[in-house]
Chains A and B, each alone.
Chain A
Amino acid sequence: GENVEQHPSTLSVQEGDSAVIKCTYSDSASNYFPWYKQELGKGPQLIIDIRSNVGEKKDQRIAVTLNKTAKHFSLHITETQPEDSAVYFCAASIVNTGFQKLVFGTGTRLLVSP
């Protein structure tokens, strides 16, 4: 089955710096790659997603890139702010009879210091 690896497990940056989180996936059939932000005690919140027919997508300070050949995708956060501190999960979807269950990476704890 699909396996998603995520690095780094923890990331500390200063406010205003950029943060990059990287994920690799194993199943070349995966075609949907969302990123979720999870704050303590809360449910994962979708922040951006990308589909396999697109190489890059940007939404204000957040961008995601996808390299299908290498089977990896990355999250880029620019001008980080303390409120960006949270655990970030990447995920990949496996299409199975038309329904997409998510396989998550192990998460990255991002800490943005003022």
Chain B
Amino acid sequence: AAGVIQSPRHLIKEKRETATLKCYPIPRHDTVYWYQQGPGQDPQFLISFYEKMQSDKGSIPDRFSAQQFSDYHSELNMSSLELGDSALYFCASSLRGPNTDTQYFGPGTRLTVL
């Protein structure tokens, strides 16, 4: 079965640079979630989109923005990168509806800020 696709898998940036992470949800899924996972920590919710509209917002810095496109893929844009942004970034997707909203996670993008 098709899974969530994330690109790139690894990304190295310098401080103050920008980064764009991409997420391609499972076919037919209409909701995308972004999570950040620091070393040895649990995933922290950043933001989610349903049908191209922001549906919820968590602990996402103002330097970050995201959007969902007409083909349901999503991009997380990160500017003025800081050392503390180094983490694994996961995208998850789901299909809205009772008992179908299970979130399936992608393999993640490992961002390293030097």
Q: Which residues of A contact B (CB under 8 A)?
A: 32, 34, 36, 41-46, 49, 51, 89, 96-107
Q: How far is the CA of A100 from the CA of B99 in the complex (A)?
A: 12
A36, A41, A43, A51: residue with the most chain B Cβ atoms closer than 10 Å: A43
| Cβ B43 vs Cβ A89 within 8 A | yes
Q: Which of B4, B45, B50 is close to A102, meaning CB atoms less than 8 Å apart?
A: B45
Residue of A nearest to B107 (CB): A43
Residue of B nearest to A51 (CB): B99
| Cβ B33 vs Cβ A101 within 8 A | yes
Report if A99-B90 is in contact (Cβ < 8 Å); known contacts: A34-B102, A43-B106, A44-B43: no
Which residues of chain B have C-beta atoms less than 8 A from A49's C-beta? 102
Q: How far is the CA of A98 from the CA of B55 in the complex (A)?
A: 9
| Cβ B105 vs Cβ A101 within 8 A | no
Which residues of chain A have C-beta atoms less than 8 A from B101's C-beta? 32, 100
Q: Which of A43, A51, A101 is close to B48, meaning CB atoms less than 8 Å apart?
A: A101
| Cβ B102 vs Cβ A46 within 8 A | yes
- Residues of chain B at interface, number, CB under 8 A: 27
Residue of A nearest to B101 (CB): A100
Q: How far is the CA of A51 from the CA of B101 in the complex (A)?
A: 11
Q: How far is the CA of A43 from the CA of B107 in the complex (A)?
A: 4
Task: Please provide the chain B residues from 68 to 114 with a CB less than 8 Å away from any CB of chain A in the complex.
Answer: 90, 94, 96, 99, 101-108, 110
What are 19 residue pairs bridging A and B, where the CB atoms are less than 8 Å apart in the complex? A32-B101, A34-B103, A36-B105, A42-B108, A43-B90, A46-B102, A46-B105, A51-B99, A89-B43, A96-B56, A98-B96, A99-B48, A99-B56, A101-B56, A102-B43, A103-B45, A104-B43, A104-B44, A107-B42
Q: How far is the CA of A51 from the CA of B110 in the complex (A)?
A: 32
Q: How far is the CA of A112 from the CA of B43 in the complex (A)?
A: 24
Residue of B nearest to A4 (CB): B42
